[in-house]
């Protein structure tokens, strides 16, 4: 034996869980909300987050130095406090606010009470409330200029106005930086599935709040109404990240359940009958203050003292769905919902793009037109085409800058070899083809696709009346030469064009 | 069906180091040291003097009273001295030192089976007592005392403890793989004392070979069944096993027999079989030499009194390139940190774990204030609230510690300390609080007299 052997009391092993590990996981679970916040709200949000985190860590370091305490910034709790505070601030908050808040949180709420584990209220929340009271004006979340709503969603909720739940869910509505419910839920469920936060707390907060709002909110258990309340005002953030703070929540399961319900119910009461949008912060702080009381009186007894009888059924390992599976399922469901939300948000944009593309095709076949107007006289005729293989889809009147009719633009289609063939065709005012342009053509490469080559396409230019397809060489006025080896495609194009010409003859001609 | 208890932790197992090392007999060459106290109860009284010649299995110290155990020599040779020697707890204790003649001449022939099939209950208990058997799981409680509960007919379960939940240790695993019939026979002998009992062999499910071997050995025995347990510490604790098998929790003031259970380690059961059927006294037991700092981690049938240092040499010494920073008699959960390896193996010892890194020293650097995360409450197999107990103990509120938080129910398994992310020395705090309360009670009790 070369060295001296260490002596210590058993046990001689330790779990891999450490305080910094827990703090790292909390930061990781807040990352989705942080990223969404920065993406939606821009660089000022990033500045607020960075300033809050940096000043929280710095003030802890300075405080420990001044008070001759050991350095504790490596445990990560100061960074978590700073991040939580930043995420509960508005994106347009002046930059001195997060600094003041972080210093207050770390020095007054945490340091002065003895540091990590000794604070009686959640430092981030206490700082937020301090800022709300002291800097009411700077803390007000101002709606962005282009927003139609005149207040934040919670303000709107209080005024019983309609709110956009999808926007609140995704975090694109006006609100604090960390207001993306989807991102917060992903993080919160991650923490829950890793066993870092206690399900008794976060779920009892949500249940207590939902029950109160449902019973006394005046709208009953209307899911839309409940969802709107749950998505707003920091309920999710509070339930998963603030109320579950270890230091300021009770230890026993029963105590945690009572504490969670208390917060949920208080939050609901403040929301319904209070006059502030920040009700949930106050509810959690009151819960924090009740924690020592709960911990003193609600203590679990050892197993041997819980049951009166001596025997109870043999404890078999019950079948349990693993928590990560539950969390993943919920996240997948939420992501699905969110994607459908994204679709509904972007649907308008996609439509606008399609219209622009179509207009471009018309411009190509009617180069002289300045604008296109709906051909009202063709409306009835267009209806008759619906459902037919060869049809005219749309008809527009092409007008010059002065508003005179200079021709017509039609969208026609027929069935080709590889699917529907759709094309835009331009007609002069006297019914001669100006040009055709394909908008949908999925034919065989080298054969049917030759339809889009000038050799075939430009045959139509200047023609009118009813066109006939011929093989080999075209000679007559009405004849169009088919594409070799692609008679189905050629036929489709001719039929579609003829349908357009027919519509001109029957309804458009002469009208304006 | 896998059974288990509530709570518990799953420390890293490290059993792969030695789990497939076959049990081998080890015959030491150096002098042998026999402490007179290798059990719970009164120390034995020596019956040999300096210069006496003794043989393997010969009794050298006699039990002093009922709760005590005889001690037998594990080697042949001359008694060198009866003097104070250092033992593994670090203190000095009265020991018999024998100069080993390396012949290992047996005192009697221990290979003759003496089983007329009509042994009475008293015969069985007497033979166990004569063999000086103590609980080999670690506690060292004299086995004959355990086998004599007030009401043998009230015993419903005899639990064979093959859980081996202690990380690193694998000797019980190897013992069950190779000596399954002997263990089952030992269990049958114990069952003869308790007419209404069922024998349940409990093994953690990280030992599939052992479970298989025991199932084969127990097949066709109506009163014996094998039950796989979830691998979780402290599964091998008496109370955890009873909770897993019967569902009963009982306060620390009661004994397993009070709730109809007798728990015996598989090693003890084999010793019972050897003692009752072959008159072989307890002078050897299974033993694991393991740890990252050991060259060849091994499982031995080791003779009581062998020096730990000699065992380490038999395993190739300290692994080159590593440094032994901590030596544990036992595993990392319940083991005692040793200051020196020049101490003898005692009956209740079942392993040496030589660590190349000290997780406690590492953890102390990471210690923060208590976060009140509640992990200790989740893992406590007794259902206590360690963090509130620690708060009360540190604040000196022993009244709350004892009455409101049931702090004296702590079985000192150390699960809370392992699980604590803030790396608080919880168990040490509880040990101290318990000692203070008992001290106070003693003082007050003394005042009344």
| pLDDT band at A151; cut points 50, 70, 90 | very low
**CA B76, CA B53: separation in Å to the nearest integer?**
7
Q: Provide the chain A residues 278-307 that lie in CB contact (below 8 A) with chain B.
A: 295, 299-307
For residue A146, pLDDT over 50 is answered with: no
| A198 chain-B contacts, CB cut-off 8 A | 374
Q: If you average pLDDT over residues A367-389, what whole number do you get?
A: 81
pLDDT at B267: 95
CA B384/CA A301 separation, integer angstroms: 7
Residue A221 has pLDDT above 50, yes or no: yes
How does pLDDT run across A74-120, given as a tens digit for each residue? Answer: 999 999 999 999 999 989 899 999 999 999 999 999 999 988 888 99
Q: Is the dihedral of CA A461, A463, A469, A471 positive or negative?
A: negative
Which of B259, B332, B406 lies closest to A13 in CB terms?
B332
The verdict on whether omega for the bond into residue A11 sits within 30 degrees of 0, i.e. cis, is yes
In the prediction, which pLDDT does A144 show? 47
Of A8, A19, A251, Cβ closest to residue B374: A251
pLDDT above 90 for A226: no
Which stretches within B147-284 are classed as H helix?
Answer: 171-191, 208-218, 238-246, 266-278
pLDDT tens track for B204-227: 999 999 999 999 999 999 999 999
Give the whole-angstrom CA distance, residue B128 versus residue B148.
11
Per CB-CB distance under 8 Å, the chain A contacts of B369 are 114-118
Return the higher-pLDDT residue of B396 and A152. Answer: B396
Rounded Cα gap, residues B197 and B194, in angstroms: 6
Alpha-carbon distance of A23 to A26, in angstroms, equals 5
Q: Which residue has the higher pLDDT, A219 or B319?
A: B319
Query: How high is the pLDDT of residue B154?
Result: 92
Q: Are strands A405-415 and A420-428 parallel, antiparallel or unpaired?
A: antiparallel
A5 and B382 within 8 Å at the Cβ level: the answer is no
B312: closest chain A residue by CA: A1
DSSP string, B299-343: EEEEETT-BHHHHHHHTTSBPTT----EEEES-TTTPEEES-S-S
Top pLDDT among A144 and B418 is at: B418
In this model, does residue A351 exceed pLDDT 80? Answer: no
Chain A contact for B12 (CB, 8 A cutoff): yes
For A31-86, give the DSSP string: HHHHHHHHHHH-HHHHHHHHHHHHHHHHHHHHHHHHTT----GGGSHHHHHHHHHH
| Other CB atoms within 10 A of residue B319 CB | 18
Per-residue confidence (pLDDT) for residue A317, from 0 to 100: 55
Comparing CA positions, the residue from A299, A320, A222, A212 lying closest to residue A260 is A212
Per-residue pLDDT tens over the stretch A304-346: 887 644 445 444 555 667 777 788 788 777 777 766 666 666 6
Domains in chain B with CATH codes: 1-26+108-357 (3.40.50.11540), 364-448 (no CATH)
Q: Which of residues 224-243 of B touch A (CB under 8 A)?
A: 230, 243
User: What pLDDT score does A142 carry?
Assistant: 58
**What is the C-alpha end-to-end distance of chain B, expressed in Å?**
54
Rounded to two decimals, the ipTM of the complex is 0.87
* pLDDT bucket at A145, cuts 50 / 70 / 90: very low
- B388 interfaces chain A, CB cutoff of 8 Å: yes
The whole-angstrom separation of Cα B15 and Cα B21 is: 11
Low-confidence stretches of chain B (pLDDT < 50) are 1, 448-449
> Alpha helix locations (H) across A366-463?
379-385, 454-457
pLDDT for the residue numbered B1:
47
Q: What is the CA radius of gyration of chain B?
A: 22
The pLDDT mean for chain A works out to: 84
Residue A426 Cα distances to A249, A422, A431, A462, angstroms:
73, 13, 9, 10
A358-376: per-residue pLDDT in tens? 778 888 888 888 888 888 7
Residues of chain A with CATH 1.10.3430: 19-300
* CA distances from residue A445 to A398, A452, A490, B331, B401 in whole angstroms, order as listed: 33, 11, 14, 75, 86
Yes or no, beta carbons of B385 and A12 under 8 Å apart: no
pLDDT for residue A161 is more than 60: no
CA-wise closest residue to B390 among B440, B344, B341, B427: B427
Torsion of CA B383, B436, B403, B334, to 10 degrees: 10
- B290 interfaces chain A, CB cutoff of 8 Å: no
Note whether B270 and B175 are within 8 A (CB).
yes
Judged by CB atoms closer than 8 Å, whether chains meet at B358 and A300 is answered as: no
By C-alpha distance, which of B43, B379, B335 is closest to B169? B335
pLDDT value for A342: 64
Q: Which residue has the tokens 């009147």?
A: A397
Q: Per the CB < 8 Å rule, is A117 touching B370?
A: yes
Q: Give the minimum alpha-carbon distance from B246 to chain A in angstroms, rounded to a whole number.
A: 5
| Lowest pLDDT segment from A231-245, A430-444, B40-54, B268-282 | A430-444
What average pLDDT is seen over chain B? Answer: 92
Distance, in Å, from the CA atom of A279 to the CA atom of A272, rounded to the nearest integer, reads 9
Contacts of B248 in chain A (CB under 8 A): 310-312
CA closest to A8 among chain B residues: B337
Nearest CA in chain A to B408: A302
* Distance (Å, whole) CA A264 – CA A249: 14
- Burial state string for A283-303 with b = 16 or more CB within 10 A and e = fewer than 16: bbbebbebbeebbeebbbbbb
For the domain made up of A19-300, give the CATH fold.
Answer: Ammonium transporter fold (1.10.3430)
Residue in B246, B362, B385 nearest the CB of A252: B385
Residues B3, A246: C-beta atoms closer than 8 Å: no
Question: Rounded distance, CA B286 to CA B107, Å?
Answer: 21
A147 pLDDT higher than 50:
no
As a whole number of angstroms, the distance between CA A499 and CA A391 comes to: 6
Instruction: Name the band, by pLDDT with cuts 50, 70 and 90, for residue A431.
Output: confident
Q: Whole-angstrom Cα distance, residue A417 to residue A487?
A: 9
Q: Which of residues 299-318 of B touch A (CB under 8 A)?
A: 309, 318
Q: What is the pLDDT of residues A173-211, one digit of tens each?
A: 778 898 889 899 999 999 999 989 999 999 999 999 999
Computed over its alpha carbons, how large is the radius of gyration of chain A? 35
Q: What is the pLDDT of residue A261?
A: 94
């Amino acid at each position: 034996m070369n060295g001296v052997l260490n002596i210590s009391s058993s046990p001689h092993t330790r779990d891999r869980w450490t305080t910094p590990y827990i703090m790292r996981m909390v930061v990781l679970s807040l990352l989705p909300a942080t990223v969404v916040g920065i993406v939606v709200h821009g660089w000022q949000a990033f500045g607020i987050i960075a300033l809050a985190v940096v000043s929280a860590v710095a003030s802890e370091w300075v405080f420990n130095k001044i008070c001759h305490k050991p350095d504790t910034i490596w445990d990560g709790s100061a960074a978590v406090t700073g991040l939580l505070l930043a995420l509960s601030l508005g994106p347009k908050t002046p930059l001195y606010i997060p600094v003041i808040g972080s210093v207050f949180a770390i020095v007054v709420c945490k340091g002065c009470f003895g540091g990590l584990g000794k604070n009686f209220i959640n430092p981030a929340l206490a700082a937020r409330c301090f800022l709300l009271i002291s800097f009411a004006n700077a803390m007000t979340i101002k709606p962005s200029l282009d927003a139609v709503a005149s207040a934040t969603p919670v303000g709107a909720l209080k005024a019983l106005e309609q709110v956009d739940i999808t926007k609140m869910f995704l975090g694109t509505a006006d609100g604090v930086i960390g207001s993306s419910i989807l991102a917060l839920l992903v993080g919160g469920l991650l923490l829950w599935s890793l066993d870092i936060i206690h399900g008794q707390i976060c779920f009892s907060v949500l249940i207590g709040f939902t029950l109160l709002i449902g019973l006394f909110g005046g709208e009953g258990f209307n899911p839309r109404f409940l969802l709107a309340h749950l998505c707003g005002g920091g309920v999710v953030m509070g339930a998963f990240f603030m109320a579950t703070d270890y230091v300021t929540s009770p230890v026993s399961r029963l105590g945690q359940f009572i504490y969670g319900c208390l917060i949920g119910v208080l939050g609901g009461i403040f929301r319904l009958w209070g006059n502030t949008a920040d009700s949930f912060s106050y509810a959690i702080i009151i819960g924090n203050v009740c924690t020592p009381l709960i911990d003193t009186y609600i203590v679990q007894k050892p197993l041997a003292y819980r049951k009166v009888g001596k025997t109870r059924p043999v404890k078999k390992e019950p079948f349990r769905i693993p928590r990560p599976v539950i969390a993943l399922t919920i996240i997948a469901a939420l992501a699905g919902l969110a994607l459908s939300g994204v679709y509904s948000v972007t649907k308008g944009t996609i439509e606008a793009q399609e219209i622009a593309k179509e207009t471009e095709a018309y411009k190509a076949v009617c180069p002289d037109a300045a604008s296109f107007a709906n051909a009202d006289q063709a409306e009835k005729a267009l209806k008759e085409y619906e459902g037919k293989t060869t049809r005219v889809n749309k008809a527009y009147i092409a007008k010059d800058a002065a508003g005179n009719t200079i021709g017509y633009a039609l969208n026609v289609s027929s069935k080709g070899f590889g699917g529907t063939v759709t094309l835009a065709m331009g007609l002069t005012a006297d019914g001669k083809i100006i040009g055709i342009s394909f908008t949908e053509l999925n034919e065989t490469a080298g054969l049917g696709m030759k339809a889009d080559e000038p050799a075939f396409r430009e045959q139509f230019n200047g023609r009118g009346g009813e066109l006939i397809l011929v093989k080999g060489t075209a000679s007559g006025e009405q004849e169009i030469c088919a594409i070799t080896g692609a008679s189905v495609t050629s036929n489709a194009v001719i039929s579609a064009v003829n349908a357009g010409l027919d519509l001109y003859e029957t309804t458009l001609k002469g009208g304006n | 069906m896998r059974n288990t208890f509530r709570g518990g932790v799953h420390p890293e197992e490290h059993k792969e180091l030695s789990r497939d090392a076959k049990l081998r007999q080890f015959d030491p060459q150096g002098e042998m040291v026999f402490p007179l106290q290798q059990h719970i109860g009164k120390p034995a009284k020596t019956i040999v003097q300096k210069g006496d010649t003794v043989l393997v299995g010969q009794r050298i110290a006699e039990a002093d009273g009922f709760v005590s155990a005889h001690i037998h020599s594990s080697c042949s040779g001359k008694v060198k001295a009866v003097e104070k020697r250092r033992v593994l707890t670090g203190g000095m204790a009265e020991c018999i030192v024998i100069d080993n003649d390396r012949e290992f001449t047996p005192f009697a022939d221990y290979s003759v089976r003496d089983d007329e099939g009509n042994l009475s209950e008293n015969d069985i208990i007497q033979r166990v007592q004569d063999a000086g058997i103590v609980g080999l799981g670690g506690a060292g409680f004299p086995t004959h005392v355990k086998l004599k509960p007030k009401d043998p007919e009230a015993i419903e379960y005899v639990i064979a403890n093959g859980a081996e939940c202690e990380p690193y240790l694998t000797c019980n695993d190897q013992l069950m793989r190779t000596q399954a019939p002997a263990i089952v026979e030992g269990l049958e002998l114990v069952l003869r004392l308790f007419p209404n009992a069922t024998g349940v062999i409990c093994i953690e499910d990280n030992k599939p070979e052992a479970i298989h071997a025991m199932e084969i050995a127990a097949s066709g025995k109506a009163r014996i069944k094998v039950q796989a347990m979830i691998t979780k510490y402290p599964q091998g604790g008496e109370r955890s096993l009873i909770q897993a098998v019967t569902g009963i929790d009982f306060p620390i003031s009661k004994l397993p027999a009070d709730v109809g259970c007798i728990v015996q380690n598989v090693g003890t059961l084999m010793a019972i079989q050897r003692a009752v059927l072959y008159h072989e006294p307890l002078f050897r037991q299974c033993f694991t030499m393991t740890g990252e700092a050991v060259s060849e981690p091994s499982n031995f049938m080791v003779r009581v009194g062998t020096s730990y240092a000699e065992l380490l040499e038999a395993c190739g010494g300290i692994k080159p390139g590593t440094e032994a920073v901590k030596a544990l008699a036992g595993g990392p959960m319940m083991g005692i940190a040793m200051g020196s390896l020049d101490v003898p193996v005692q009956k209740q010892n079942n392993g040496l774990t030589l660590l190349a890194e000290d997780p406690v020293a590492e953890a102390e650097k990471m210690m923060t204030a208590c976060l009140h995360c509640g992990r200790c409450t989740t893992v406590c197999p007794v259902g206590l609230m360690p963090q509130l107990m620690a708060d009360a103990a540190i604040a000196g509120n022993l009244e709350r510690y004892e009455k409101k938080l049931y702090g004296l129910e702590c079985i000192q398994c150390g699960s809370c300390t392992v699980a604590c992310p803030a790396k608080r020395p919880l168990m040490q705090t509880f040990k101290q609080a318990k000692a203070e309360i008992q001290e106070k009670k003693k003082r007050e009790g003394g005042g009344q007299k």
